[in-house]
Structure 1
């Protein structure tokens, strides 16, 4: 029903964000809401999915359309509800999830909270062959750390990447900005993190 919502980001907490659209505040439940921290009080676009049941209506939001698509596919898996699906989306990228499903990697899938071996097998059964488009990787945009960062800046760069992951950014998002981040002459972790956040906006 709602493909996306675009408005001013008014508030956020550990479960949801509030987007103001012409005076109406939409409560949008997100994976890692603090990823939107840098956009607080700014115009923000959120890809949304309205989950409707007889006893509830919940609006879920995502920073990338790909995350929303993964969420929708997970809801089609028997035994996976919106809470589980949101948790999975918050902890993996569509690419990594697709690789695990296509390779039938139970060990990877069972690392998510609430996902046991039975549920992992169900995800593989229901989604194998339906997520393989996410397995494509633009390797020319993903360079190794060693090839772009000097030995002096190596530690700061790795610490910055870890900090961005802690803030909730996915591996795919970080991989996309890594080449530009590596090209900078910044040597401190704080400066690299700040610049990384700007690139991710």
Structure 2
């Protein structure tokens, strides 16, 4: 397998880029080709070498995380490389993981080629298997599961102030070792959120 391709961008079009690697042009299908410019030098593209009996194609990504998501999506029945590439092109991996974990079909069916059946299959096949792609992910329903402690009350206050559950989960993790009053938790959480 080819881990990555490094070199200047020789050509950019709507479907792929061409990288000049020591005089050899590699055609690499990428999620957002226009992210690259033809004058870019020393571009590193992490690749997936897709091999079938009738084709060999290089798919490229800006990060290993994007490539790993692509590989996970390929494992879902009904999603091929073009569909997986279109999903990765959305650029919001965290939102995708959240949609899979919460089985949000409405969000998942927004991607081209993904209907209700494929969205259900994505949730079935990938739910709980994307933790290495989002180590900070905290399921929404489990955020306040410990009871009515001062920290829980502080977190509920932060929700009322409009902070996202992802932000609150990070703050909660940082404050979980401290024993404070509700007001002190709120003040400390706001300090952490405003850094």
What TM-score results when the alignment is normalised by the length of structure 1? 0.65
Write the distance in 1 (CA, Å) between the matches of 2:40 and 2:93.
29
The offset of 1:8, in angstroms, is 1.3
- 8 Å contact from structure 2 (residues 10, 20) kept in 1: yes
The offset of 1:137, in angstroms, is 4.9
Q: Which has the higher helix share?
A: 1
> Secondary structure of the residue that 2:96 maps to in structure 1?
helix
The offset of 1:132, in angstroms, is 2.8
- 8 Å contact from structure 1 (residues 99, 132) kept in 2: no
> Secondary structure of the residue that 2:89 maps to in structure 1?
helix
Q: Please list, as runs of the form range in 1=range in 2, the aligned pairs for 1:42-61 lying within 5 A after superposition.
A: 42-61=41-60
> Secondary structure of the residue that 2:5 maps to in structure 1?
strand
- 8 Å contact from structure 1 (residues 99, 135) kept in 2: no
Q: 5+ residue gaps in structure 2? A: 138-195
Pairwise CA RMSD: 1.5
Larger Cα-atom Rg? 2
Q: Count the aligned residue pairs.
A: 137
- 8 Å contact from structure 2 (residues 16, 29) kept in 1: yes
Question: Where do 4+ consecutive residues of structure 1 move more than 3 Å?
Answer: 133-138
Aligned to 2:24: 24
What TM-score results when the alignment is normalised by the length of structure 2? 0.67
The offset of 1:93, in angstroms, is 2.1
Aligned to 1:81: 80
- 8 Å contact from structure 1 (residues 96, 135) kept in 2: no
Write the distance in 1 (CA, Å) between the matches of 2:2 and 2:93.
21
